[in-house]
Amino acid sequence: AQKITQTQPGMFVQEKEAVTLDCTYDTSDPSYGLFWYKQPSSGEMIFLIYQGSYDQQNATEGRYSLNFQKARKSANLVISASQLGDSAMYFCAMREVNFNKFYFGSGTKLNVKP
Amino acid sequence: ETGVTQSPTHLIKTRGQQVTLRCSSQSGHNTVSWYQQALGQGPQFIFQYYREEENGRGNFPPRFSGLQFPNYSSELNVNALELDDSALYLCASSLAREWDEQYFGPGTRLTVT
């Protein structure tokens, strides 16, 4: 089974609107961390947000929030008030703490329209 | 504070050759991880080094090996290059146990012909 699944290869959103990027995960490790990264066309990988498996509250970082639903094994990224500069590839990732392995999804390409 | 740097930026090698890629960690970081990102795909975890010891490994064959030095810089070595090894190789540094602060370098683009 895939460790990280991102089912949206590409998405469009209008500038200033909110958008949700989907991510589901699969692990038997009770201790894990979930991450979202942004990769612009220039190639650098930029950390956006982190959620630990034991965190009770959803993580937020500025315009980014992570909708963590543990029972459903989902960790969706919500970007509020989209900006043109948000156009990029977005990757969901997971670290299995006890197994010390790290997995990335296949990514979602977000295009923000003016 | 210096960020993560990688060298070289681009590299072209022939099938069967060996290659060494280098990564300099962010100041103060003692953990480095390496990833392979094929075109149009997400990165795949190769391995992680913590204080000069391998500390986790993904599903890569033994011809992928690494080193971490006392100054926490790192090398990725790939022997017997195959065409499928063509990819962007990313390294990321962090403080151990603080994976929310994993900083990536700009990557090395390897082309195997």
CA A16 to each of CA A8, A79, B56, B60: distance values in angstroms, whole numbers, following the listed order: 20, 10, 41, 42
Q: What is the mean pLDDT of residues A18-28?
A: 97
Nearest chain B residue to A6, by CA: B42
Q: Which of A4, A43, A47 sits opposite B106 (nearest CB)?
A: A43
Question: What SS3 state is found at A112?
Answer: strand
Whether A102 and B107 lie within 8 Å, measured CB to CB: no
pLDDT, tens digit, for every residue of A48-78?
999 999 998 999 999 999 999 999 999 999 9
What residues of chain B score a pLDDT lower than 50? none
